[in-house]
């Protein structure tokens, strides 16, 4: 089976971190019925600048931006099947979970969470895989 592969981007160009921070990756890639979203950190959709704050505020902003990227490409948060969460301090795990439950109140996606050292002062980074148009 051969799937077409294409880079995807958000409709809001200020959320295209790959472009604005000159990073050598795409915001996401569509391959067949799957959308692979690159790791996202909290970005203010109005300015395109970092939106650093608490783990809860950064997580909320990431999921709002993720919703936008998914909707820009024919999917929704309900289509997310796998999430990887990278958090600067595992003592903040429940802070992230509180927000995660807001965005995935029923049938949450599979998830892996791990503590890591993040760049740019971010407290959390999240990547996802969504199933769309299957």
User: What SS3 class is residue 17?
Assistant: helix
Task: Write the CB contacts of 100 (distance below 8 Å, at least 6 apart in sequence).
Answer: 59, 63, 85, 108, 111
Give the separation between CA 111 and CA 84, rounded to whole angstroms.
6
Of 9-23, 48-62, 77-91, 111-125, give the lowest mean pLDDT range.
9-23
Considering the entire predicted model, what is its pTM? 0.95
Closest CA to 14 of 37, 36, 42: 42
Average pLDDT over residues 122-126: 98
Question: Which tens digit of pLDDT belongs to each residue from 24-65?
Answer: 889 999 999 999 999 999 999 999 999 999 999 999 999 999
């Amino acid at each position: 089976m051969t799937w077409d592969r294409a880079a995807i981007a958000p409709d809001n160009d200020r959320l295209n971190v790959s472009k604005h921070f000159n990073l050598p990756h795409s915001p996401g890639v569509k391959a067949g019925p799957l959308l692979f979203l690159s790791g996202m950190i909290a970005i203010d959709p109005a300015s395109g600048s970092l939106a650093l704050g608490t783990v809860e505020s950064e997580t909320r902003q990431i999921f709002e931006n993720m919703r936008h990227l998914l909707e820009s490409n024919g999917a929704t948060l309900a289509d997310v099947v796998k999430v990887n969460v990278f958090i600067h301090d595992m003592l903040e795990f429940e802070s992230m979970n509180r927000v995660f439950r807001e965005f995935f109140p029923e049938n949450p996606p599979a998830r892996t969470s791990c503590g890591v050292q993040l760049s740019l002062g971010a407290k959390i980074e999240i990547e996802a895989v969504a199933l769309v148009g299957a």
